[in-house]
Amino acid sequence: MTVLDSILDGVREDLAVRQAEVPLADLRARAADAPPALDPLPAFRAPGVSIIAEVKRKSPSKGELADIPDPARLAARYAEGGAAAISVLTEKRRFGGSLADLAAVRAAVRVPVLRKDFIVTPYQVWETRAWGADLMLLMVASLDDGPLGELLGLATELGLTTLVEAHTPDELERAARLGAQLIGINARNLKTLEVDRSVFKALAPDIPPGAVRVAESGVAGPEDVAEYHAWGADVVLVGEALVRAGDPEDAVRTFISAAAARG
């Protein structure tokens, strides 16, 4: 069993509990009452590099990363530093996140908010919109083409923007075939947790013209953001390096300026 398989098993177990507690009809009603989702693509397509700054307490590879007693305050500081969007981990077992974190961040910032989780069912898509997210993550590695297309279609119907994540040429081809407009290349292999930033450099040229290119994982400092941008990234998603930064607001600014300086 791969690391990803193990994570997905836990996700499905926790999902079953939530489904028993909150009927789909309740989620649909809550989603209908939610403000319209914000569109992140104009900011992501603007000149320079955009940063998606992540609220991330821990990870399967590194364990505990940071004590985050107030995710809303952290997100607000990211936004003040110029983050184009905020990512919130909502998976509980391996990442220490929750839907409560998502709701708190959504209430605290005016920029788009991404729900980062292992989404494998329509219930989770409704859940994402009901709790106020504007974007959600879909990982090609965790879904066959049929369910992947179904979830992408439902997200679009609900006004959500979907970050479709790939790690291999085959996964990228599948994302492109479905018409994904926001494509992430994850430098981390979620089956082994190994990180290789050159994966983005290798795959970025094959991202379809017009799609926004997102580099994920492997950022230790400003120079890594600058290099990803030089390799073609429109957006860089950063988690660990920001939650461990002493001044997250300044760290976001530094990442953006480093990419601008490199040109």
Catalytic positions, written as ranges: 54, 56, 116, 165, 186, 216-217
Virtual torsion, Cα 121, 123, 129, 134, nearest 10 deg: -10
How many residues are given for the chain? 263
The DSSP call for residue 196 is -
d(CA 166, CA 188): 10
Cα separation, 217 vs 193, in Å, equals 11
CB within 8 Å of 49: residues ≥ 6 apart: 225, 228, 229, 233, 234, 235, 236, 255, 256, 259, 260
Amino acid at 79: A
Instruction: Please state, in angstroms and as integers, the Cα–Cα distance from residue 246 to each residue in 6, 225, 238, following that order.
Output: 33, 18, 15
Rounded Cα distance, 161 and 215, in Å: 17
Residue 219, C-beta contacts closer than 8 angstroms, at least 6 positions apart: 225, 228, 236, 238, 240, 241, 255
